[in-house]
Amino acid sequence: MLVVGLDNLSVLDHPGGTIRTYRNALLRDTRAAARSRDGAFYVADFQNGLVKTTGAQQFEKFVTNAPASARAFSVYSDARTGITNVFSGGFSDRFLQNGSFGGFYEYKEGQWTNITPQTLPDRTQYPNFQDPSHGVRTPDGTLYIGSYGNGILEWKGPGSFRQFTFGSGSNPLRTALAPPKFPNVDPNYTRITDLTADAEGNVWVVNRHEFAGVPGVHIFNPVATTWRSLPYFAGVENLNGIVLDNNGYVWLSTSRQPTGNGVIAYDENTRTPRYFSTANGLPSNDIYDMVKDRQGSIWVTTSAGVAVLTDPSQTFVAGSAEAFLKPVIQRGPQASLNFPALNSDVVRCVAVDGANRKWFGTDRGLWLFTESVDEALLNFTTANSPLPSNRILDVAVNDRTGEVFVVTDAGVVSYRGSATVTEGKPACGKVFPNPVRTDFTGQVGISGLANNAVIKITDVSGKLVYQTRANGGTLTWNLADYNGRKVQSGVYMVLSSDADGKNACISKIAVVAR
């Protein structure tokens, strides 16, 4: 009989009644155990995963190529470095601290690296950061992580980091636990709900503290190690998200607790805020997420659907009536056939892919919509995909590969998307697989194209076989012509160019008979 203790495994042998107890540093939070036919014991440990022992001194840990835990709060994917980060902590729907010290995880080129107190127990290598909520990378690749309790972590790797929290140096960060609301000061309530970076490498930080009259948005210059803050304006002490638009305006979502108050746009030049609520087109004042798309529009997800502000440049124009609009699904010429996209859904997150299409995470699965969100293209749920839960907490797209990373309340999965972004001058299409057989039933992928390029596929005589437009910098082709018929064996030319007829290139696909 096997008996699992908190940090040990006991084996009761019958009929003699001998008890052997196994202890090891790998057994920290044991949950279950089993004995194999060869006499080895396998232990499920909540902190160290699967542990095998064949004797009192022989313990082996099995490390899977996966995040250290299924617990995750948000995901950030950086195309420049090719790294995707998953953050395990965050905060509750009521904006309470989770008290998680689960660290964060990095994914690059098919491999996961876990940055946790278990993998890096030395505090000089990793500071045991509480409730990591969101992250962003500056142009030099440095990762900045916001903690809902321990401020900000500047991370360049194990042993190469700086931490900024209330009372540590000359930073303006505030703790939520301080007079006059509370008798004592506790720096472990330095709550960062979101952060982003601008093109110059400055890090913009949302510091939720709920003290009226005190600034809540700060800008950090990593090179000079200097800080500045946006002046106080109503609501800035109780914010959630931040987005920088193409006009230099700052977009801020208010916290949903105690009550949501919509979105605030801020013009730093004139020190002017503008407030948006349901009176200005939002489906709800409870905001979950915001994003700027590839045309500069601002998309907002709420507890009752989604909305878009298409021309942020008009936000502070005198007399402007610029407002948010609900995207409408088009079902026919009659208005009665059309309806708002994801109407009344709790939409927790949004991401934009290389084709400017929108990925939305809801409580009933993951959705992909067209660029203008007038048509749903895909809907993934637990019933038709490997999603471990229909409650989607966050979503991010790797622009280099098109891979879509999805955080649910039961773990993280990814989907091989079909839209990428080509940075700089196109290097002409890379085709895979190539050559391909005539009976191939999958998709041929062509990447490295000009973004949203016009694509013409012809045979060697110049006869047009198929024409379409790339999804960002990527095209997929099922080897069929306009009529859906599979093409014959031969060499096919892929001619691509951008909308202006520039950045043209030619690739070849060889289709061979079996």
- Burial-class residue 293 by CB neighbours within 10 Å (0-12, 13-18, 19+): buried
Q: 312-325 pLDDT, tens per residue?
A: 999 999 888 889 99
The answer to whether residue 114 scores a pLDDT higher than 70 is yes
Query: How confident is residue 355, by pLDDT bands cut at 50, 70 and 90?
Result: confident
Under the banding of pLDDT at 50, 70 and 90, the label for residue 300 is very high
DSSP count for the chain of H helices, then E strands? 0, 43
| Strands, E assignment, 303-459 | 305-309, 328-329, 339-340, 347-352, 358-362, 365-369, 376-380, 392-397, 403-408, 411-416, 430-432, 436-437, 444-447, 454-459
pLDDT band at 418 (very low <50, low <70, confident <90, very high): low
Q: What is the mean pLDDT of residues 158-184?
A: 95
Give the sign of the dihedral formed by CA 255, CA 259, CA 261, CA 263.
positive
pLDDT at 498: 78
- pLDDT beyond 90 at 506: no
Nearest alpha carbon to residue 151 among 220, 212, 214, 94: 220
Is the per-residue pLDDT at 15 higher than 70?
no
Please, which pLDDT band fits residue 425 given cuts at 50, 70 and 90?
Answer: low
Does residue 174 carry a pLDDT above 70?
A: yes
pLDDT for the residue 16: 65
Q: Which residue has better confidence, 23 or 281?
A: 281
Least confident span in 90-99, 315-324, 341-350, 386-395: 315-324
pTM for this entry: 0.83
% of the chain surpassing 90 pLDDT? 68
Strand-pair category, 160-164 with 347-352: unpaired
Task: Encode pLDDT of 211-262 as tens digits.
Answer: 999 999 999 999 999 999 999 999 999 999 999 999 999 999 999 998 899 9
